[in-house]
């Protein structure tokens, strides 16, 4: 479009045969707002743009926009496929199907929208608009940056339309609608819903009071879809015939989501209700629940752990013992793996644990040289059950750590009542300690 | 997916040798899901209260801790409005040597020893620090009102 046109244009002719109170109508190319020149001047009062033009009978820039819009749809279908429940007019492209909907008896009317000023501050618009949505295409994409301007425009138009228009209309009849209003903005034409089409009627002025429950339900749905492609849940919502009627806050929501980078950010990045917040917090808590736990032990260290066979003196006082990870009983002669702290387990059981966290399941001492949990500065050493000394003597290669065993002691690690306040009841009869 | 032997053993032992003041009963149709009740410890504002909890053993249990939550409303600085519990052994200090039994005992102990310096329910913790007497009284009232 010729950007320079707005200002290089000569002053409008005053048509001689006009009604006496003829006023210049201004049109904003940026937001497609309309206003009277004598009220707001040449700069768009809605968006502040000066890319504006005076509407003249033989040079109506709005027609250009209408057709441009239609072209946009051809080349960038995504623009028009913003989630319809967020933006009730997103699918509201009346011209999209004009080409292939040849049976449409009103087709000629579609291209003959009329905008007439009948009196100062009054105008009449006539036209029929078909809202045809392709379910397969619905929600396929998000409004991208380029589409945002037109989306915003639709939003504003929708809001104004709701606030100023029209009694509820019977949308079963395919008839022309005409209406009038007191403001030029947003009153280009009235939309007429068609019974063949999508059952939700965005045309009717919905309740102006925000139904809070429904709002949060919608958001909850989006929250639940956290992480899914944004098109999915919105498309589903789009097909919900019981979706709440378009109301003013939904376009606001559409704006919020539209502002997100690339339109790809999920609505879950924001929360609008306490439940949603709780859900996010729960999720974070889950994700970080073990983030403070020590990291995995090196596989080589796990593989290098000494194996030994269960002997009589490794069994508990009742002559029984079990691996405290799988809780299976271990019998004399069975091979187990012993950690530096002399606690022993089935190799498979403890290897699985150490591969996630380098801590002894009983005393939290680490197995790897570099592990902070293995730091030998702790005088108290690891909590070791009463048989610790006995097992230590059987493993001379671990004599260096054996010195930290405290026979007969159950105390927690000396350094850690704050970090590791939990005392493992290692002497409990169920948890055989060797 | 078959139930690991460990879960079966734990369940059997909880049944055969229950912990005083604590019960944990698995659902018939989901043996990883337990209905839990914990009696409030004596000498605490939760005394005489019977608190319902739900406990779920995830697929990788015991490599990951059980998921557990209060169903009964409770006024406690380490338990939030949704019943989520702030307890280290349920999070980073979990160990596979711990069991349902030991975890439930830890929770019971937490009722007896609230820790407002490591809060989950921030507002409760603030009340607790500002006016411990009042907070304890509130906890007592909530116990009478909800933990029956």
Domain boundaries, chain A: 4-67, 117-280, 299-433
Look at residue B133 in the predicted model and tell me its pLDDT: 92
Mean pLDDT (whole number) for A391-403: 37
Mean pLDDT (whole number) for A371-383: 39
Min Cα–Cα distance to chain B from A75, Å: 49
Lowest mean pLDDT among A78-82, A126-130, A145-149, B32-36: A78-82
Q: Is the pLDDT of residue A203 over 80?
A: no
Look at residue A226 in the predicted model and tell me its pLDDT: 46
pLDDT grade for B120, boundaries at 50, 70 and 90: confident
Pairwise CB contact (< 8 Å): A421 & B82: no
Contact B136, B45 (CB under 8 A): yes
Look at residue A276 in the predicted model and tell me its pLDDT: 78
Q: Is the pLDDT of residue B100 over 90?
A: yes
Look at residue A201 in the predicted model and tell me its pLDDT: 46
- For chain B, what are the domain ranges? 5-147
Region of A168 on the Ramachandran plot (φ > 0 left; ψ -120 to 50 alpha; else beta): beta
Pairwise CB contact (< 8 Å): A425 & B6: no
Identify each DSSP E strand in A166-291 by its residue range: 177-181
Which of B4, B63, B81 is nearest residue A356 as measured by Cβ atoms? B63
Mean pLDDT of chain B, nearest integer: 91
Q: What is the CA radius of gyration of chain A?
A: 37
Look at residue A185 in the predicted model and tell me its pLDDT: 40
Mean pLDDT (whole number) for A135-146: 43
- pLDDT (tens digit, 9 = 90+) per residue, A207-232? 444 444 455 555 555 555 544 333 33
Pairwise CB contact (< 8 Å): B92 & A293: yes
Cα gap B125→B119, rounded to integer Å = 6
Which of A361, A421, A430 is nearest residue B96 as measured by Cβ atoms? A361
Mean pLDDT (whole number) for A156-183: 42
Please name the residue of chain A whose CA is at the shortest distance from the CA of residue B80: A278
Contact A297, A354 (CB under 8 A): yes
Contact B72, B114 (CB under 8 A): no
A268 touches B: beta carbon within 8 Å: no
Cα gap B66→B90, rounded to integer Å = 7
Residues of B in contact with A422 (CB under 8 A): 88-89, 93, 98, 106
CA dihedral sign of residues B22, A426, A406, A376: negative
Mean pLDDT (whole number) for A235-241: 41
Architecture of domain A299-433: 2-Layer Sandwich (3.30)
Please name the residue of chain A whose CA is at the shortest distance from the CA of residue B107: A422
Say which CATH topology domain B5-147 has: Ubiquitin Conjugating Enzyme (3.10.110)
Which residue, chain included where needed, has tokens 């639709």?
Answer: A154
pLDDT grade for A147, boundaries at 50, 70 and 90: low
Mutate one of B63, B93, B120, B122 to test the A interface: name it (highest A CB count within 10 A): B93
Q: What percent of chain A has pLDDT over 90?
A: 4
Lowest mean pLDDT among A50-54, A57-61, A171-175: A171-175
Mean pLDDT of chain A, nearest integer: 57
Most confident of the ranges A152-161, A173-182, A268-277, B28-37: B28-37
Pairwise CB contact (< 8 Å): B96 & A324: yes
Identify each DSSP E strand in B10-84 by its residue range: 22-26, 33-39, 50-56, 67-70
Min Cα–Cα distance to chain B from A292, Å: 5
Min Cα–Cα distance to chain A from B99, Å: 9
Within 8 A by CB and 6+ apart from A143, the residues are A78, A79, A82, A87, A90, A151, A258, A263
Q: Is the pLDDT of residue A330 over 60?
A: yes
Q: What is the DSSP letter of A169?
A: -
Phi/psi at B26 (5° precision): -75, 150
DSSP per residue, A322-348: E-TTT--EE-TT-EEEE-TTS-EE-HH
A364 touches B: beta carbon within 8 Å: yes
Kind and range of the H or E run holding A309 = strand A307-309
Look at residue B95 in the predicted model and tell me its pLDDT: 93
Mean pLDDT (whole number) for A16-44: 75
């Amino acid at each position: 479009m010729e950007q320079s046109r707005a200002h290089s244009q000569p002053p409008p002719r005053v048509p001689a045969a006009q009604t006496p109170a003829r006023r210049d109508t201004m049109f904003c190319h940026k937001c497609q707002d309309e206003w009277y020149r004598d009220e707001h001047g040449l700069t768009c009062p809605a968006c502040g743009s000066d890319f504006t033009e005076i509407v003249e009978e033989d040079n109506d820039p709005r027609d250009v926009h209408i057709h441009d819009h239609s072209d946009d749809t051809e080349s960038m279908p995504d623009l028009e496929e913003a989630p319809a429940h967020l933006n009730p007019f997103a699918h509201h492209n009346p011209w999209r199907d004009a080409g292939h909907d040849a049976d449409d008896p009103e087709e000629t009317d579609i291209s003959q929208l009329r905008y007439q000023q009948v009196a100062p501050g009054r105008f009449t618009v006539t036209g029929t608009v078909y809202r045809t949505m392709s379910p397969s295409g619905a929600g396929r994409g998000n409004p991208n940056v380029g589409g945002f301007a037109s989306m915003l425009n639709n939003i504003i138009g929708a809001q104004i339309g709701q606030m100023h228009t029209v009694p509820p209309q019977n949308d079963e009849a395919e008839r022309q609608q005409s209406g009038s209003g007191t403001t030029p903005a947003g009153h280009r034409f009235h939309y007429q819903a068609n019974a063949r089409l999508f059952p939700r009627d965005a045309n009717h002025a919905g309740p102006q009071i925000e139904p809070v429950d429904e709002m949060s339900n919608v958001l909850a749905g989006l929250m639940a879809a956290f992480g899914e492609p944004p098109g999915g849940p919105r498309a589903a919502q789009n097909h919900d015939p019981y979706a709440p009627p378009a109301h003013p806050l939904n376009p606001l929501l559409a704006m919020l989501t539209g502002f997100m980078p690339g339109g790809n950010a999920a609505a879950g990045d924001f929360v609008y209700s306490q439940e949603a917040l709780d859900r996010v917090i729960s999720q974070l808590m889950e994700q970080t629940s073990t983030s403070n736990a020590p990291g995995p032990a090196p596989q080589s260290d796990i593989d290098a752990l000494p194996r030994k066979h269960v002997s009589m003196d490794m069994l508990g006082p009742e002559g029984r013992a079990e691996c405290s990870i799988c809780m299976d009983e271990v019998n004399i002669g069975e091979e187990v793996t012993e950690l530096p702290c002399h606690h022993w387990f089935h190799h498979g059981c403890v290897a699985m644990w150490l591969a996630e966290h380098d801590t002894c399941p009983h005393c939290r001492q680490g197995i790897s040289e570099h592990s902070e949990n293995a730091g030998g500065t702790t005088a108290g050493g690891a909590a070791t059950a009463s048989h610790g000394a006995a097992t230590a003597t059987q493993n001379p290669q671990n004599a260096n750590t054996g010195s930290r065993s405290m026979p007969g002691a159950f105390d927690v690690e000396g350094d850690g009542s704050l970090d590791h306040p939990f005392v493992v009841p290692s002497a409990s009869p169920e948890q055989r300690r060797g | 997916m078959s139930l690991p032997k460990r879960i079966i053993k734990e369940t059997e032992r909880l049944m055969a040798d229950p912990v005083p003041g604590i019960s944990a009963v698995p659902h018939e149709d989901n043996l990883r899901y337990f209905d839990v009740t914990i009696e409030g410890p004596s000498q605490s504002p939760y005394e005489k209260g019977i608190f319902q909890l739900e406990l779920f053993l995830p697929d990788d249990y015991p490599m990951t801790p059980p998921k557990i939550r209060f169903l009964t409303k409770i006024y406690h600085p380490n338990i939030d409005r949704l019943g989520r519990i702030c307890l280290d052994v349920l999070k980073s200090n979990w160990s596979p040597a711990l069991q349902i039994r030991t975890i439930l005992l830890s929770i019971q102990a937490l009722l007896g020893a609230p820790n407002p310096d490591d809060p989950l329910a921030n507002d409760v913790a603030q009340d607790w620090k500002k006016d411990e007497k009042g907070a304890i009284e509130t906890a007592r009232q909530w116990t009478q009102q909800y933990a029956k």
